[in-house]
Structure 1
Amino acid sequence: MTGQTTVRTLPRIHSRNPRSTTADDLLERRRTDLLERLAAAGPAHVVTGEPGLGRGALLDRAARSFGAGRVLRLRAAPGGPRPPYGDLRTLERAAAGFPGRPAAPPGPATPARTVAALRAAADGGPLLVCLDDAHLWDPSSRTVLGHAAGLLGVGDRIRLLLGVAGHRPVDREFAGLPVVAVPPLSPPDAAALVDEVTGRTAERGVRDALVEESDGNPALLLALVRRLSPAELAGERPLPWPLADAEVLAGVAGDAWPGPAGAADGLLLAVAAAARDAEDAGADADLVLRAARQLCSSPAAADHQRVPDTLLLADGRFRFLSGLLRRAVYAGARADRRRAAHRSLARALEADGRPLRALLHRAWATTGPAPLLASQLACAATDTEVAASHRLRSAALVRAAELTANGAVRAERWTAAAEQALLGGSPRRALRLLAAQRHEPMPPVIRGRGELVRGRAELRDGPVRDAHESLLLAASLLAAESPERAELALQAAADAGWAAGDAAACLRALEAGRARPAESGPAAAALPATGGQGAGGPVPPGPPGALPAPAALSASAVPAASAVPRPRSASGPLPGGAEPCRGEAAQGRTVARDYRDGMSAALEVRFDRAGSLLRRVVDAAATSRSPEDLLRSAAAALILGEVDAACRAGARALAVARTLGSAALAPQALEYLAYAELRAGRHAQARAHAEEGLRIAQRHGQRNQQAQHHAVLALAASIEGEPEVVAEHVGAALATARRHGLAQVSTLAQWAAARVDLGRGHPLEAVDRLGPLVAPGPRRGHFAVWMLAVPCFVEASALAGQPEGARAAVEDFALWAAFGADPQAPAQLARCRALLAPTDRADDLYARALALHDERGGTFERARTELLYGKWLRRRRRLREARARLGAALVGFEDCGAGVWAGQAREELRANGAAPGATRPADTSGLAGLTPQQWRVARLVAEGATNREVARALSVSARTVDYHLRNVFAALGVRSRVELARLVEQAEKAGAQTY
């Protein structure tokens, strides 16, 4: 073991790019975040992480940044004989190495002696002890150290960090200590690291491949970047395959890699080979043990083989504790040993009656073209009677393509593999698989299927206008030979137009699908391949704000996976699950047709026809088992304003998607559910759904879907009054929305930010943010979303003293309310008219708004109306009536968790004369003698607000503020705002009392 009381400089990450030093900053920020988490973990804890995640660098960072006192940094020396208690003696000698500390007297090694040595080294001050590679200590020293760590208390001011390897279980001697695992990089952080270390020269597809291959391991990611030439990074030359080879993986694994001999170990290699087709990177224990017997030199040796400590056996499955080590073991074994492992696994799987996995392992054991095996594997992968995940089917089709000699057949299998990857929720992988067949000879129908995959992948993770064009091209290529897929492409093209905020493009795609004959034929070739008027012509002008669609209710219109195709042959889209019966298929086609025609009618402002068609779609949810039809039903219910029906359909769609294991459908079902819950006023439930959807979308690289969920979370947080949380989600949503052209996401995010401004009493900021979204012109928000922000804009305009700019928006909103899609709209419209009405009419309009709230429900919106009505009554000195309205508003806001809005209601109650629990400064400065309204003015002025800003915050005129301020100055005997601010600050520091 080596010990030191000074801290070495953290080694710099090198790269051929001169800007790579910023990668250090990114990783340093990550380590700082981890250390903040460690700060609350107690006086002693274990820090673990697989090789390459930066466990040692984290301990270095902790030691280097500890400025409160002394630092003791030790690292165990690898290898060599380790005498009992030898490592503990090294620790004691290092602890005695501080100036003025005597050497530890000889004596037995005990936990109390170790703690006494550390306390002596601390000398009454803080001490940080960082012990890296503590798993290499001799067992006797580990035992004493583990017990000594348990004796440390907060009063000792000693922090003990024990770094242990993450590719093996934590030693039982440390089992009683809290464990903090260093997590892998998130995909966005990994992508940012690639951008930093390459100076943003890496082509997007190359960067995505690096991020996926590294699996969040920063050391592996940087090693992969160093391996590539500038031409390969720029996408000008193909990437080497495999991207992470044995040399790279072994280099990152370091001492954890068992070497070529260890990699050839029967059990280790069998587990690593079996994990290639497993969803959880685990392997059935019975299966791998049978395969390992065939790999070992003798069955008897296999039966008595010790389970390496790098493997975990739980629930009948073997798993590597480190994914990096699993990959290194497989890549480091000789090719003939890998093929032998796959043949052994194939025989065991055949005996178990699992043909698809058996064929896949037999294919992995085969070299060179094998047409017969490739055909068998492709047929098994497309057999809907075989239970298999989309990931497994995709892997099987990839291997079938690799073993296929015929170029056209190979292209078809690459395309089918990409379709399965997309259905499994991995758009980036789908695009990479498409790239593998771009040089193959392809008939139009295969090219069309590829464009369909490309467009739908970009709809989830790319610029949506690019997706729109790819999908229109797919429809034209597929129309003659695959009319069902052509219909799917047009539906997805409508989704892309919707997401981009292009109503005309959305309508053209829907109309093209309606105009296309059901049977194949040359007429279908007239489908539009690019923009233009298309079959449906331009969108009629119609009344502004009266274009209902799911996004108008903060959903995403036609589901992006709204028509996951069912397999018909080996070349089909190949989703998992059973083949639908003829009746179910016919029902699905009817629902899709009604939904398409209903959406077209809505965009054409033919509301009666739209309502009847969409009503049929909603009713179909009662008998449907298709997640696509259920998502359409949820969207149609949102359009019709039937929030409870939308929640039911969304919940059923989510349940079916989970049963099918569809990572493509689950995030979207959760998005629909979240928006429906928001509309119902159940903000906490909406937040829970959106958080789960965001996690799934992040895990599978669906950035557009992530942006949708960030927008939902921003809206939920804006109601709950969490400005910092809203700002975080708004920033994340807008970052993707701007890059990928997501007009709907952008509008929703800006609306959430404005609602925070309004909730915090900053109406002018809300007007500035919402004005462009609701005003006619190129900056107007998404065509089906902007009207939802109108009530906020009208409220902000009225409170900011700018009512004239809101009158036109109210008339537009009246057209939307008349459609009946939003149950809250009539009450909101009455409230908007009350805000802008003269005094003799406002009272009746507020009363009408409250009556409409009673009919339609909605706790949050009703509380907002009560608050505004209470403010209006208070300004007219109708204090008793104001007290009733403001009290009801406070109860409503507290009931739905709207914290900032509840604070507004409390402030208004204080200004009205009294409020239980309200606080004001103690009577040490004369401030307690002020009236409630005078105190509010004094506090706002002390915070630096101008008279006009105080007037806006309190909903009074600037003249009234000036009047109150003169009285405050006179009552307190101050002559300037500076003196007032000082007096208020002193009074607030002195404490507060309830009145």
Structure 2
Amino acid sequence: MQEAFRYGRAAGRDDAPLRTELARLVPGLPAEIAAAVLGLAGGDAGVLREVAGALTAEQIRGAQPPPCTLPDGPLGRRCRAALAVLPARTRCALLLAATDPDLAPGELLAAGAAEDLAPAERAGLVAVTAGAVQFTPSVLRAIVYYDAPLAGRRSAHELLARVLDRRGERLRALVHRAAAAGGADETLSRELRAAAAEGPPRTAAAAYRQAAELTTDPAAAAGSLVAAARQAWLAGERQQAGLLLRRVSRRPEVRARARGLAGEMELREGDPVAARDILLDAAAHLVPHDVPAALEALLLAGEAVHLAGEHGRYGEVARRALALRRGDEAPPVALAFQQVAGLAGMYAGDHATAFARLRDVLRLAARVDEPAALIRAAGAAVLVGDDPRARALAGRAVALARDRGEVTLVPQGLEMAAFAGLAAGHHEAATAAATEGAALARATGQPALAQSHLGVLAVLAALVGDRESCVLRIREAGAHDTAQGPGEARALCQWALALLDLVEDRPRATVARLGALVVAASGRGNLIVQVAATPHLVEAVWRCDPPTPAAGRDPHAAALDRAFEPFDRWTAGTGQPAWLALRARCRALRAAEPQTAEEHFREALRQHGRGDADFARAHTELLFGRDLRRRRRPGAAREHLRSAVETFRLLRAEPWAAQADVELRAAGAPVPPDPAGARELTAQQERIARLVADGATNREIAQQLFLSPRTIDHHLRNVFARLGVRSRTELARRLS
């Protein structure tokens, strides 16, 4: 517990602005020192500046531990002066509250200290809510704890251990007993390890760390440190996990487990190739000692292969993983093996095997309640085109991860939810998932995952022609190609730029971008993006030069054949209306005979009718209407173009509505009026307006939506103009 303040921070808080400020104040600060300073600051820029200004040269180099409390500067003196005038009983109550960040008011009441907090509440130093005691500023918690004498801290831990034990909080009680211990205690160390196995990650990390301190057995200490690091990683405390891994001994079986966790962390930080090598090495050393850990390392190595865009190497990983199978595994492990087999088939082009194994994953998912396994199952659902199942599994995984305190897994589950929403045409849900996912990924030390979320947001913005938001999100992602080609985030950003070209009527530019992305060298590229972007490549080629019976093969035909053939087989295997509709649409755009094209377009609309993807249906009607008009059938075209205009307007996809407007006029029909200011604001404007009405500043909105404050100001001026309001107060009243 003594280290809680040094490394603790609010789960899910994105410290990006303060991290930038800290880098400006103290360039080159080691990552673990920076994390400690940010955790101590608790989101307060004033605290950050005071702590950063007091760092010693040894701390800046990492030769000494980071600060654990506020130095004796202006803010520190004011805080200490405010505490000094409080009654002694109030200061004792504050020490109890500071000793355990998770202490609830009921637990303080059981310790006989709740009423003594009243003077501190009146002074504005704490706020007692239904679930916690919040210090203001948050650094005050560290000041109260670390300014207290060692004997006082130990007494507080002993009292809380008794209170929590009586209330059935055994793990927390054990952690407090350990914090009060004066030396090695093998019995308590064993009790901590046993109880931590069932505890929430943040408390379990503290328990394992204390267990390592209390034992004289080097092997037990090393194992406890690795377990503490994994729990800290799950709790979103990336730097704490890294520090713990550095303390691990060189015992082979423990070092391999540490390497497995280090590889997982490397994967989320953005170097999938390095992560792959670390994970494969860890798996090789783990097989003789810990088969489940070896399998986990191989699963992550396979994910690294995917993220690096080198899926030609997946077969090697799959063979090593499947060699561990015995046939009597529990559902989560059986699920993992089926997923490996399914992915191996998918990457090898054996769709029959891939779909069979991945659907086995979905059946097994009903018997699993582990967030990580459910996230993998959601990924399997995405790969077989079952987007509704993917959303449901991802939602279940996110809810379980939140409930268990496994905050690192939450943005991973949200990534699957965002992919599923994007594929299914549920753009608002996908935007919400990716926006939260990007913030949580950053806050939990997973920048590569944040890049993927931002890539999804860029694609969503491009789909509706929001160039400014799309470009800003691409810049924010900052994703680069790997040595093997575009990784997942970079592929998403390239797809978004290609979509902007298509929306803005530059189909040749779209062909150039998507040709390089979709028609990659054998074994290279990003499988999901290659499949999802193929309909846009087909459309772009068609818009460059629609096929005719006499035209012969166009210069893009061979490349398009290579892209379309796997897409055609994959969509047929899904059996899902949304994907079958896109398959039929693509066949229509590739058909040279008018009658064949029309049959495929009508099949696409029939499949759209079985699903609920309004945007995709409107897009198909736009292309069908454009095709009919070009074939000199304006009367038949008008029905589809009018429907496309109305749907795009309702969905606030203005650039697509404008394209349909042009086609409808060319077909000789008046454009239908914009329905009743049906929605006066675009989706982005409405989101910003709601945040303004809730009291958020432009800078806060910019951070939340991954846009610049200048862009927020621009959108807000348009909101005021559209709604006829002149102030934020009027806007709040209007929206209420």
TM-score range, shorter chain: 0.7 to 0.9
User: Does the 8 Å contact 2:97/2:133 carry over to 1?
Assistant: no
Classify 1:457/1:900 alpha carbon distance in 2 versus 1 (closer, same or farther; 3 Å): same
Which of 494, 509, 525 lines up with 2:317 in the alignment? 509
Are the aligned partners of 1:288 and 1:345 in contact in 2 as well (CA < 8 Å)?
no
In structure 2, do the counterparts of structure 1 residues 763 and 449 end up closer, same or farther at CA, with 3 Å as the change threshold? same
User: How many Å separate the matches in 2 of 1:193 and 1:831?
Assistant: 51
Is residue 13–residue 440 contact of structure 2 (8 Å, CA) maintained in 1? no
Cα shift readout 1:401-441 (whole Å, capped 9, x = no counterpart): 2333443332221111011112324333322221233xx3x
Instruction: Tell me, in whole angstroms, the C-alpha distance in 1 between the residues paired with 2:88 and 2:632.
Output: 87
Q: Distance in 1 between matches of 2:289 and 2:273?
A: 26
Q: Select the structure with the greater relative contact order (CA < 8 A; seq sep ≥ 6).
A: 2
Shift of 1:314: 2.7
Pair 1:219-2:30 in alignment: no
Report the AA paired with residue 434 of structure 1: L
CA distance in 2 between counterparts of 1:358 and 1:788 reads 51
Correspondence for 2:557: 807
Residue correspondence of structure 1 range 418-457 to structure 2 within 5 A? 418-437=229-248, 440=249, 442-457=250-265
Mapping of 1:944-983 within 5 angstroms?
Answer: none
Q: Which moved more, 1:767-776 or 1:472-481?
A: 767-776
Deviations 1:754-778 (A, max 9, x none): 2123223333443343232134449
- Residue 510 of structure 1: how far off its partner (Å): 1.5
Letter in 2 for 1:807: A
Q: Does the 8 Å CA contact 1:427/1:461 hold for their aligned counterparts?
A: no
Q: CA deviation at 1:392?
A: 0.7
Instruction: Count residues with an aligned counterpart.
Output: 649
The worse-fitting range, judged by mean Cα deviation, of 204-213 and 456-465 is 204-213
Q: Which has the larger radius of gyration?
A: 1
Change (3 A) 1:716 1:371: same
Aligned with 1:353 (options 165, 168, 171) = 168
* Counterpart AA for 1:219: G
| Aligned 1:638-657 pairs, distance under 5 A | 638-657=382-401
Listed one character per residue, the Cα deviations across residues 848-883 of structure 1 (whole Å, up to 9, x for unaligned) are 133133125443233223212323333454332232
Which residue in the other structure is 1:854 paired with? 606
- Which 5+ residue runs of structure 2 have no aligned equivalent? 1-11, 548-553, 676-736
SS in 2 for 1:454: helix
Distance 1:469 1:786, change over 3 A: same
Matched, 1:671 2:415: yes
Q: Does 1:917 align with 2:673?
A: yes
Alignment pair present for 1:400 and 2:400: no
* Contact kept in structure 2, 1:814 and 1:829, CA below 8 Å: no
1:184-217, CA deviations, whole angstroms, 9 ceiling, x for partnerless residues?
9942223322333344x33444444443443333
In 1, Cα distance between the equivalents of 2:596 and 2:421?
A: 31
Q: 2:192 maps to which residue?
A: 377
Amino acid at match of 2:429: Q
Alignment check: 8 A CA contact 1:418 1:429 kept: yes
Q: Secondary structure at the match of 1:312?
A: strand
Q: In the alignment, which residue of structure 2 is the partner of 1:880?
A: 635
Cα distance, 1:479 vs structure 2 = 1.0
Identity of aligned residues (%): 31
State how 1:834-853 maps to structure 2 within 5 Å: 834-835=588-589, 838=592, 841-842=593-594, 844-853=596-605
Q: Which runs of 5+ in 1 are unaligned?
A: 1-183, 294-300, 520-582, 920-995
Offset of residue 684 of structure 1: 1.5
CA distance in 1, matches of 2:121, 2:16: 37
Change in 2 beyond 3 A, CA 1:624/1:853: farther
Per the TM alignment, residue 496 of structure 1 is displaced from its structure 2 partner at its CA by 1.2
> Is 1:682 the equivalent of 2:426?
yes
Report Cα offsets for 1:88-114 as digits up to 9, x if no partner. Answer: xxxxxxxxxxxxxxxxxxxxxxxxxxx
Where does residue 729 of structure 1 map in the other structure? 473
User: In the alignment, does 2:108 pair up with 1:287?
Assistant: yes
TM-aligned CA deviation for residue 746 of structure 1:
1.2
Query: In the alignment, which of 158, 177, 181 is matched to residue 366 of structure 1?
Result: 181
SS at match of 1:248: coil
Give the equivalent residue in structure 2 for 1:479.
Answer: 287
Matches within 5 A, 1:238-317: 238=63, 240-241=64-65, 243-246=66-69, 248=71, 251-258=74-81, 261=84, 265-279=88-102, 283-287=104-108, 290=111, 292=113, 307-309=121-123, 310-315=125-130, 317=132
2:351–2:569 Cα contact (<8 Å) kept: no
| Residues 634 and 647, structure 1, Cα contact 8 Å, conserved in 2 | yes
Match of 1:817 among 558, 568, 573: 568
Change (3 A) 1:371 1:291: farther
Q: After TM superposition, give the deviation of residue 284 of structure 1 in Å.
A: 2.5
Summarize deviations over 1:893-943 as a string: whole Å, max 9, x none.
235443321222123323444213389xxxxxxxxxxxxxxxxxxxxxxxx
Task: Check the 8 A contact 1:458/1:467 in 2, yes or no.
Answer: yes
| Paired position in structure 2 for 1:190 | 18
Maintained 8 Å contact 1:267/1:289: no
Q: Does the 8 Å contact 1:398/1:417 carry over to 2?
A: yes
Mapped partners of 1:304, 1:727: distance in 2? 51
CA distance in 2, matches of 1:891, 1:361: 64
Amino acid at match of 2:658: G
How far apart are residue 448 of structure 1 and its match?
1.3
The answer (yes or no) to whether the contact 2:441–2:450 under 8 Å persists in 1 is yes
Asked if 1 retains the 8 angstrom alpha-carbon contact of 2:237 and 2:444, the reply is: yes
Instruction: For 1:633 and 1:186, locate their aligned partners in 2 and report how far apart those are by CA, in whole Å.
Output: 28
Preserved CA contact (<8 Å) 1:668 1:693: yes
CA distance in structure 1 between the partners assigned to 2:520 and 2:403 by the alignment = 45
SS of residue paired to 1:663: coil
**Structure 1 774/630 Cα, relative in aligned 2: closer, same or farther at 3 Å?**
closer
* Cα displacement string for residues 933-990 of structure 1 (whole angstroms, at most 9, x for unaligned residues): xxxxxxxxxxxxxxxxxxxxxxxxxxxxxxxxxxxxxxxxxxxxxxxxxxxxxxxxxx
In 1: Cα distance, 2:365 partner to 2:68 partner: 50
The structure with the largest helix share of the pair is 2
Candidates 134, 137, 146, aligned match of 1:322: 137
CA RMSD of aligned residues (A): 3.4
On the 8 A contact 2:508/2:544 being kept in 1, the answer is yes
Secondary structure of 1:323's counterpart equals: coil
**What does residue 704 of structure 2 align with?**
none
Corresponding residue of 2:663: 908
Instruction: For residues 46-100 of structure 1, give each alpha carbon's deviation from its aligned partner in whole angstroms, at most 9, with x where no partner exists.
Output: xxxxxxxxxxxxxxxxxxxxxxxxxxxxxxxxxxxxxxxxxxxxxxxxxxxxxxx
Counterpart amino acid of 1:850?
Answer: R
Call closer, same or farther: CA 1:798–1:418 in 2, change over 3 Å: same
Cα 1:788–1:214, aligned 2, differ >3 Å: closer, same or farther?
same
Q: Among 572, 595, 598, which residue is 2:342 paired with? A: 598
- Partner letter of residue 171 of structure 2? L
TM-score for the superposition, normalised by structure 2 = 0.79
Question: In the alignment, residue 248 of structure 1 is paired with which amino acid?
Answer: P
Q: Give the aligned residue type for 1:622.
A: A
1:636 to 359, 380, 383: 380
Q: Which residue of 2 aligns with 1:609?
A: 353
Whether the 8 Å contact between 2:584 and 2:603 is mirrored in structure 1 is no
Write the mapping of 1:709-858 to structure 2, written as runs, cut at 5 A. Answer: 709-735=453-479, 743-777=487-521, 781-800=525-544, 804-812=554-562, 813-819=564-570, 820-821=572-573, 823=576, 824=578, 827-832=581-586, 834-835=588-589, 838=592, 841-842=593-594, 844-856=596-608, 857=611, 858=613
8 Å CA contact retained: 2:310, 2:525: no
